[in-house]
């Protein structure tokens, strides 16, 4: 240990070196999600141009070498020299952290990129980056690259030369091409489906914009190389897309649009024949899955307006008490998008809006919008159907008062008997503890023997949990397995969820690698998504990956976790090997289960995340809802029925 700590020990990281040293501070991860974050930073800059009235088209081109191009027809980055730094605006934007035109409202009224680190971080973490700017009738270009500074030391985003003047042009806008540095993003490739989902969402949120995605890795003759997203009705089309596999209460969504001195708001509302509510909210095109003040205002406005409308239609009598907001929101899908200046997001992740002034403003706009809708002669039947559905929800709520109290009073849930079900751990620090939700008593018994009881708890499921997708809360809470999970986790559910009462830092689903196991995982994930979504948003839910095979011979053994690795491991093993196939967790000994699936040093866990709420909603509705045709179509499109390389055939090969 160094005994002297002086000024000479303070390291000054120049330029973008800090980004390369600690990339996770800027993009979250150096995996595939972080690599795509580099793209979003550039795309968001183009979207900000368009959202502020400059340009209407973005073209994203995926190249075969894993580089990618983003081209817009906005104003173009300023090319004149910065008064202080004495270099071009282009160089400033791509080499200086916290440099940008979004810190005041003179150039961008609305912006998602408020921290001014986007383009420079993308540059810092790229092998090379090229930018072309068309502005005021002239074209300019500049290149940057990663430079080796010493043994295993690199400096990213170094200018190859100053900004070059190319010549006259009729175009306007900025084109950025970059290749992520594979020294940072090992074995990562851009994924066309991930990109398509995000740009589709951006096209919905910015009606009239055209976003084109070109994938040069695809074969042009097959017609899947080019995709174009353009939605003239914006959120109306978005909510129809979300609900296309559901039975809707009314065909045309209720649409509210308004602009005040504080916010610019668009909102679409549509009810479906389900019991859960779904709110998809955005601020300046950024998803806010944790909600915030705009969602609070939305819900208040909806409750206030519908209670007044119910009385005006005589669907609520004078003697009747007002319905609760949750009654009106049963089966309601809402897409809310606002744009505002001086946004205050809670946390660097920008997932929750903190501006208190947004609450009252959004409430007033939603209230007035719904009251205006009520004044339309064609709206009476739609409103009657909504209010009658809400009255049905209220009756169910009253009839199931005891079950409802369980969801509202955490102590009632926690008092549910877990004797003989949960094998708790001895550790008392929730941050260190984890619970395995295990399929079946047999696997549960092995897991109890295998675990490290100092921090690992085991909760065996003795029957298949309820598919909660089309059930009211009273029905959900009648299911013994669901109640057991609620008690074990400790947070409560729904409106009474409190993350501070979480008993385990990791909630790990451990099921067999077969059809039944996949079904149980889907059921459990649907439950967490519908009733404990914050557990997923905050990264507490995992799926344990159990091995499919053990390949072994004298002095050698290796476990195979997926079919793709089988042949490679066989080749590594050489001749004279044997293969054991695991048909279920219950077939493993406690030692094998610990070694392959439960030991933190060796196990494979998949953290469950939601990158796209609309896409997650579509997936759960498709797989867990009642639309058989939609589910059949999805399975037919995604399942590989041609995979015949079974264990038995492999055994014959051997």
Report how far residue 180's alpha carbon sits from residue 274's, in angstroms, rounded to the nearest whole number.
43
Note whether 326 and 473 are within 8 A (CB): no
SS3 of residue 535 by DSSP: helix
Matching residue, tokens 């290796």: 558
Q: Is 414 a catalytic residue?
A: no
Q: Point out the catalytic residue in the list 41, 72, 290, 439.
A: 439
Note whether 522 and 588 are within 8 A (CB): no
Report how far residue 20's alpha carbon sits from residue 329's, in angstroms, rounded to the nearest whole number.
46
List the beta strands (DSSP E) in 57-116.
Answer: 57-62, 68-72
Q: Point out the catalytic residue in the list 191, 320, 441, 516.
A: 516
Q: Is 439 a catalytic residue?
A: yes
Note whether 93 and 100 are within 8 A (CB): yes
DSSP-derived secondary structure letter, 286: E
Q: Point out the catalytic residue in the list 441, 514, 567, 572.
A: 514
Q: Is 170 a catalytic residue?
A: no
Nearest to 464 by CA among 406, 527, 403: 527
Using CA atoms, how far residue 271 sits from 289, 327, 353, 386, 436, in Å, is 20, 12, 25, 7, 36
* Length reported for the chain: 654
Sheet containing strand 578-581, strands side by side: 556-560, 549-553, 578-581
List, in sequence order, every residue forming a beta bridge with 235; answer none if it has no partner: none
Q: In this structure, how many other beta carbons lie within 10 angstroms of the beta carbon of residue 106?
A: 7
List the beta strands (DSSP E) in 297-417.
Answer: 332-340
Q: Point out the catalytic residue in the list 44, 512, 615, 617.
A: 512
Nearest to 207 by CA among 239, 240, 184, 229: 229
Q: Is 516 a catalytic residue?
A: yes
Report how far residue 425's alpha carbon sits from residue 435's, in angstroms, rounded to the nearest whole number.
9
Report how far residue 556's alpha carbon sits from residue 561's, in angstroms, rounded to the nearest whole number.
17
What b-and-e string marks burial along 132-153, b requiring 16 or more CB atoms within 10 Å of the CB?
bbbbeeebbebebbbeeeeeee
Matching residue, tokens 């959120």: 235
473's tokens: 């809360």
> How remote is the C-alpha of 533 from its chain's centroid?
11
Note whether 199 and 43 are within 8 A (CB): yes
Report how far residue 490's alpha carbon sits from residue 435's, in angstroms, rounded to the nearest whole number.
12
Catalytic residues: 439, 512, 514, 516
């Amino acid at each position: 240990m160094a005994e002297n700590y002086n000024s000479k020990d303070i390291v000054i990281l120049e330029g973008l070196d800090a980004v390369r040293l600690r990339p996770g501070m800027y993009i979250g991860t150096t995996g595939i999600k972080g690599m795509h974050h580099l793209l979003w930073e550039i795309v968001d800059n183009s979207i900000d141009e368009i959202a502020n009235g400059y340009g209407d088209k973005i073209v994203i081109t995926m190249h075969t070498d894993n580089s990618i191009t983003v081209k817009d027809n906005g104003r173009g980055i300023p090319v004149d020299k910065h008064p202080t730094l004495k270099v071009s605006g282009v160089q400033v934007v791509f080499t200086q952290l916290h440099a940008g035109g979004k810190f005041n409202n003179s150039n961008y009224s609305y912006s998602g990129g408020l921290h001014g680190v986007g383009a420079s971080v993308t540059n810092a973490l790229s092998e090379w980056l090229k930018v072309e700017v068309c502005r005021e009738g002239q074209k300019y270009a500049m290149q940057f690259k990663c430079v080796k500074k010493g043994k295993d030391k690199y400096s990213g985003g170094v200018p190859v030369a100053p900004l070059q003047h190319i010549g006259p042009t009729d175009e306007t806008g900025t084109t950025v091409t970059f290749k992520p540095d594979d020294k940072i993003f090992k074995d990562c490739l851009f994924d066309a489906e991930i990109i398509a989902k995000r740009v589709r969402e951006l096209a919905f949120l910015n009606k009239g914009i055209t976003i084109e995605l070109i994938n040069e890795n695809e074969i042009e003759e097959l017609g899947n190389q080019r995709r174009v997203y353009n939605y003239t009705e914006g959120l109306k089309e978005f909510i129809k897309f979300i609900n296309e596999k559901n039975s809707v209460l009314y065909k045309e969504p209720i649409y509210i649009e308004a602009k005040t001195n504080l916010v610019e708001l668009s909102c679409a509302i549509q009810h479906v024949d389900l019991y859960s509510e779904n709110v998809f909210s955005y601020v300046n095109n950024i998803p806010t899955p944790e909600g915030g003040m705009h969602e609070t205002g939305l819900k208040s406005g909806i409750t206030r307006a519908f209670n007044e409308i119910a009385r005006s239609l005589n669907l609520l009598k004078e003697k009747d008490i007002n319905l609760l907001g949750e009654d009106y929101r049963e089966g309601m899908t809402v897409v809310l998008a606002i744009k505002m200046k001086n946004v205050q997001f809670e946390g660097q992740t920008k997932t929750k809006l903190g501006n208190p002034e947004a609450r009252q403003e959004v409430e007033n706009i939603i209230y007035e919008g719904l009251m205006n809708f009520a004044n339309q002669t064609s709206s009476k039947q739609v409103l009657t159907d909504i209010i009658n559905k809400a009255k049905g929800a209220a009756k169910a709520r009253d009839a199931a008062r005891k079950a409802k109290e369980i969801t509202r009073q955490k102590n009632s849930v926690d008092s549910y008997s877990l004797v003989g079900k949960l094998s708790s751990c001895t550790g008392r620090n929730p941050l260190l503890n984890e619970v395995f939700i295990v399929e079946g008593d047999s696997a549960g018994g092995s897991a109890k023997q295998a675990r490290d009881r100092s921090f690992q708890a085991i909760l065996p499921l003795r029957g298949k949990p309820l598919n909660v997708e089309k059930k009211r809360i009273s029905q959900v809470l009648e299911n013994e397995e669901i109640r057991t999970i609620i008690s074990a986790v400790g947070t409560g559910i729904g409106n009474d969820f409190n993350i501070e009462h979480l008993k385990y830092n990791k909630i790990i689903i451990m099921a067999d690698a077969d059809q039944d196991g996949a079904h149980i995982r889907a059921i459990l994930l649907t439950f967490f998504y519908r009733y404990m979504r914050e557990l997923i948003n905050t990264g507490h839910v995992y799926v344990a990956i159990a091995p499919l095979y053990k390949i072994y011979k004298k002095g050698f053994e290796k476990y195979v976790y997926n079919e793709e690795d089988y042949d490679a491991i066989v080749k590594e093993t050489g001749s004279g090997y044997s293969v054991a196939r695991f048909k279920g967790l219950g077939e493993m000994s406690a030692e094998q289960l610990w070694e392959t699936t439960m030991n933190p040093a060796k196990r494979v866990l998949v953290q469950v995340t939601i990158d796209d709420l609309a896409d997650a909603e579509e997936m759960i509705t498709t797989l867990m809802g009642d639309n058989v045709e939609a589910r059949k179509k999805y399975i037919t499109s995604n399942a590989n029925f041609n995979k015949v390389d079974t264990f038995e055939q492999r055994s014959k090969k051997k």
